[in-house]
Amino acid sequence: MCPLPSPLPPILITTPSHAFLATLSPLAPLTVSTFLSLLPYTQKVIHVRWSGEGLWIPLGTSNALFASLPYENNTAYPAPGEVLLYPGGVSETEFIVAYGSCQFASKMGVLAGNHFLTITEGLEELRMLGESVLWEGAKEVRFEVASEEM
């Protein structure tokens, strides 16, 4: 893993209809470093199945990039705007973005994920995105380092 840049760069999260700015957590340095190595990252986001009010980006069961990550700043109860990475094990590797009441879980039970990113701007729009994904289906989401003009 690369050393973390200082200061940590802001992250821009966009969907076709929403934009959010987020802050990386220095309490999860290995997770942050691995995440930064992916950027820019585009994927589909869907609604969680077991966790309440959250958005889910499944990464599959054989994601070697994340497999060796330890627990860092881990929680099963993310607050709205908190983004977790579950590196795999009992369930598949995945990102989860809480937009409301959320207990991170799989069909095997409660999970803990590494809280590495927190939405700091646009949080008031996050519930609208969550409900849109719930009722309308998957949306494209993109994570990238925010430009200096933001």
Q: For the chain, give percent helix, strand, coil, nearest 5.
A: 20, 40, 40
State the residue for tokens 């893993």. 1
Q: Classify residue 6: in a domain, yes or no.
A: no
pLDDT digits (tens, 9 = 90+) for 74-120: 999 999 999 999 988 888 889 999 999 999 988 888 999 999 999 99
Q: Classify residue 20: in a domain, yes or no.
A: yes
Q: Classify residue 2: in a domain, yes or no.
A: no
Among residues 94, 149, 98, which one has the least CA distance to residue 123? Answer: 98
pLDDT digits (tens, 9 = 90+) for 9-30: 999 999 999 999 999 999 999 9
Alpha-carbon torsion angle 70, 26, 40, 34, nearest 10: -20
Q: How far apart are CA 102 and CA 5, in angstroms?
A: 31
Output the pTM of the full model. Answer: 0.93
Q: Classify residue 4: in a domain, yes or no.
A: no
Boundaries of domain holding 98: 11-144
CATH number of the structural domain spanning residue 113: 2.40.100.20
Q: Classify residue 131: in a domain, yes or no.
A: yes
